[in-house]
């Protein structure tokens, strides 16, 4: 018996209209995640109640932590007459009831279809005194019918640059780090690495300490974490910006150059040895530091692990789905491990990504703008030894009896992602450990009893 029993093996029917089991979701949730990476920020969803409710629920299930955001609660009338009234009331209510430092508004398919002019409404709110002194309201356009959740993240980060960064005349040495959509643990690790490199920096967004808040007996409405407004502002004075992940951060990086002449380097997400090397090289090209011994040691430990474990990884087939920036770095790293990535699917369409993936894995079946139904068909036609993707992959993994590494967004049925990074060299060690464990567990489960091994 299988769970996804209607997914056929054999020839794959092209589909032009119907998406089945999406490998993506819509922009606003990405905007909400990014906005929560600002300290004291309340994300606001300009649309129907359901959007906000769905985004909060999904983020909550992923993090098992509170996720606070408000909505314009559109009704039939709003859909006809537009959302201005609702947004004005909302802003007034928000500041009086939840007292945020910042409100980060993102739009929805509804408000975009209606055509609400959010900046104009925000302006009006200020004029009508609905926005208290010193409070900040800004917005990003995140129409659900273009791009994906990653685009929403990218747009919100670009808006942070646009509305929240400033440049003074004083030139400054610090770097601006613009992380792609990664976990709080990854944000923390990126900061640790940059600190080890001895480079002063500002980083935004920063969800470290936001979605992994301690249990204290109190609900801290605005968690300790998040990039401070004043730090974001300093992004405009940065000597150079380093954007991690092309799809999620290029727009912000270019915005920073455009607005404040801050030169920027966009690198892949620092997942795996090569990508982390490139990130550090990119910073070294600007700051010319000596890479500290401690970091070389972390790298050396990862290389050591790989060289010692190479025989267990070599030649094993992998299917992977997820978001483009992760896919590029991960498939490259899997190659470094000697694994063979056979099927790659991302829901986000992007010529650039398609080209990069082909470059990293010329042999693989690559579907950019595809869905999990398609991936499952590929897996049925050519089975793999490991599946990597978000929690929705578990049904395929069980049907095909394939070891399954949870990676990406959302992870609804396991814990750890918010606490342990997968970026950087130490993150690489964690990834290799996880993959090795999956592979060895499967061997220990399936191997004939007289072949059960004591040692690796």
Q: What are the tokens at 304?
A: 């050591």
Among the listed residues 31, 35, 38, 69, the single contact to other proteins using CB under 8 A: 69
- Which C-beta is closer to its own copies: that of 298 or that of 385? 298
Cβ atoms of residues 252 and 154 within 8 Å: yes
Q: Does 299 bind its own copies (CB under 8 A)?
A: yes
Give me the least distance between CB of 229 and other proteins, in Å please. 21
Q: Give the separation between CA 179 and CA 317, rounded to whole angstroms.
A: 30
Binding to its own copies (CB under 8 A) within 415-434 occurs at 415-416, 419-420, 426, 429-430, 432-433
Q: Give the separation between CA 92 and CA 137, rounded to whole angstroms.
A: 12
Q: What are the tokens at 74?
A: 């559109």
In total, the chain counts a number of residues equal to: 456
Among the listed residues 104, 190, 267, 411, the single contact to other proteins using CB under 8 A: 267
Count of residues that bind its own copies according to CB under 8 A = 54
Among the listed residues 8, 132, 198, 416, the single contact to other proteins using CB under 8 A: 8
Among the listed residues 35, 90, 150, 164, the single contact to other proteins using CB under 8 A: 90
Cβ atoms of residues 403 and 438 within 8 Å: yes
Binding to other proteins (CB under 8 A) within 412-441 occurs at none
Say which residue the tokens 């498939």 belong to. Answer: 331
Q: Does 304 bind its own copies (CB under 8 A)?
A: yes
Binding to other proteins (CB under 8 A) within 126-155 occurs at 143-146, 148
Residue 123 binds which of other proteins, its own copies, none (CB < 5-8 A, kind-dependent): none
- Which C-beta is closer to other proteins: that of 101 or that of 230? 101
Stretch that binds its own copies, among 101-109, 162-170, 365-373, 414-422 (CB under 8 A): 414-422
Q: Does 113 bind other proteins (CB under 8 A)?
A: yes
Give me the least distance between CB of 282 and other proteins, in Å please. 4
Q: Give the separation between CA 409 and CA 145, rounded to whole angstroms.
A: 19
Give me the least distance between CB of 35 and its own copies, in Å please. 22
Binding to other proteins (CB under 8 A) within 327-386 occurs at 336, 338, 347, 373
Cβ atoms of residues 371 and 347 within 8 Å: yes
Among the listed residues 296, 381, 415, 437, the single contact to other proteins using CB under 8 A: 296
Stretch that binds other proteins, among 46-54, 166-174, 226-234, 326-334 (CB under 8 A): 46-54
Alpha helices by DSSP H, 337-409: 351-360, 372-381, 394-400
Q: Give the separation between CA 333 and CA 226, rounded to whole angstroms.
A: 29
Give me the least distance between CB of 2 and its own copies, in Å please. 8
CA distances from 166 to 191, 229, 375 (A): 22, 11, 45
Binding to other proteins (CB under 8 A) within 152-211 occurs at none
Among the listed residues 1, 127, 170, 171, the single contact to other proteins using CB under 8 A: 1
Cβ atoms of residues 439 and 312 within 8 Å: yes
Q: Give the separation between CA 404 and CA 148, rounded to whole angstroms.
A: 24
Each residue of 24-52: b (16+ CB within 10 Å) or e? bbbbbbbbbbbbbbbbbbbbbbbbbeebb
Q: What are the tokens at 49?
A: 């109640």
Binding string, residues 56-85; x marks residues near its own copies by CB under 8 A = -----x--xx--------------------
Alpha helices by DSSP H, 272-393: 273-287, 293-313, 324-336, 351-360, 372-381
Give me the least distance between CB of 343 and other proteins, in Å please. 19
Among the listed residues 32, 87, 125, 334, the single contact to other proteins using CB under 8 A: 87
CA distances from 300 to 225, 281, 296, 297, 428 (A): 31, 16, 6, 5, 11
Binding to other proteins (CB under 8 A) within 387-416 occurs at 392, 395
Strand order in the sheet with 264-267: 201-203, 175-179, 240-244, 264-267
Q: How many C-beta neighbours within 10 Å does residue 397 have? A: 19
Give me the least distance between CB of 342 and its own copies, in Å please. 23
Q: Does 392 bind its own copies (CB under 8 A)?
A: yes
Residues within the interface to its own copies (CB under 8 A): 1-3, 61, 64-65, 209, 212-216, 224, 296-301, 303-305, 307-309, 391-392, 394-395, 398, 412-416, 419-420, 426, 429-430, 432-433, 436-437, 440-441, 444-445, 449, 452-456
């Amino acid at each position: 018996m299988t769970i996804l029993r209607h997914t056929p093996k054999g020839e794959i029917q092209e589909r032009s209209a119907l998406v089945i089991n999406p490998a993506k979701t819509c922009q606003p949730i990405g905007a909400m995640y990014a906005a929560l990476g600002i300290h004291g920020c309340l994300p606001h969803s300009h649309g129907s109640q359901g959007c906000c409710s769905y985004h909060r629920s999904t983020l909550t299930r992923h993090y098992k932590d509170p996720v606070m955001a408000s909505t314009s609660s559109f009704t039939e009338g709003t859909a006809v007459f537009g959302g201005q009234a609702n947004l004005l009331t909302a802003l007034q209510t928000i500041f009086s009831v939840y007292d945020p430092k910042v409100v980060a508004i993102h739009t929805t398919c509804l408000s975009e279809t209606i055509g609400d002019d959010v900046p104009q409404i925000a302006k009006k709110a200020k004029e009508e005194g609905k926005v208290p002194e010193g409070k900040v309201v800004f917005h990003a356009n995140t129409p659900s019918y273009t791009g994906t959740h990653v685009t929403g993240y990218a747009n919100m980060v670009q808006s942070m640059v646009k509305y929240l960064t400033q440049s003074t005349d004083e030139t400054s040495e610090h770097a601006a780090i613009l992380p792609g959509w990664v976990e709080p643990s990854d944000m923390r690790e990126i900061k640790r690495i940059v600190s080890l490199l001895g480079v002063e920096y500002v980083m935004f967004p920063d969800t470290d300490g936001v979605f992994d808040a301690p249990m204290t007996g109190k609900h801290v409405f605005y968690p300790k974490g998040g990039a401070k407004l004043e730090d974001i502002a300093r992004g405009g004075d940065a000597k150079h910006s380093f954007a991690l992940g092309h799809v999620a951060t290029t727009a912000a990086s270019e915005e920073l150059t455009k607005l404040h002449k801050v030169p920027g380097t966009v690198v892949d997400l620092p997942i795996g040895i090569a990508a982390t090397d490139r990130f550090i090289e990119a910073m070294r090209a600007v700051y010319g530091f000596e890479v500290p011994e401690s970091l070389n040691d972390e790298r050396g430990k990862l290389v050591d692990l790989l060289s010692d474990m190479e025989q267990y990884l070599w030649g094993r087939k992998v299917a992977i789905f997820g978001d483009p920036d992760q896919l590029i770095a991960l498939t490259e790293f899997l190659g470094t491990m000697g694994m063979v990535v056979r099927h790659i699917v991302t829901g986000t369409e992007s010529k650039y990504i398609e080209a990069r993936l082909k470059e990293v894995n010329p042999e693989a079946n690559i579907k950019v703008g595809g869905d999990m139904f398609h991936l499952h068909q590929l897996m049925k036609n050519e089975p793999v030894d490991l599946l990597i993707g978000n929690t929705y992959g578990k049904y395929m993994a069980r049907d095909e009896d394939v070891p399954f590494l949870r990676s990406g967004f959302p992870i609804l049925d396991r814990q750890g992602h918010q606490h342990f990074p997968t970026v950087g060299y130490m993150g690489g060690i964690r990834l290799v450990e996880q993959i090795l464990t999956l592979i060895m567990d499967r061997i220990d489960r399936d191997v004939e009893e007289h072949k059960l091994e004591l040692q690796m």
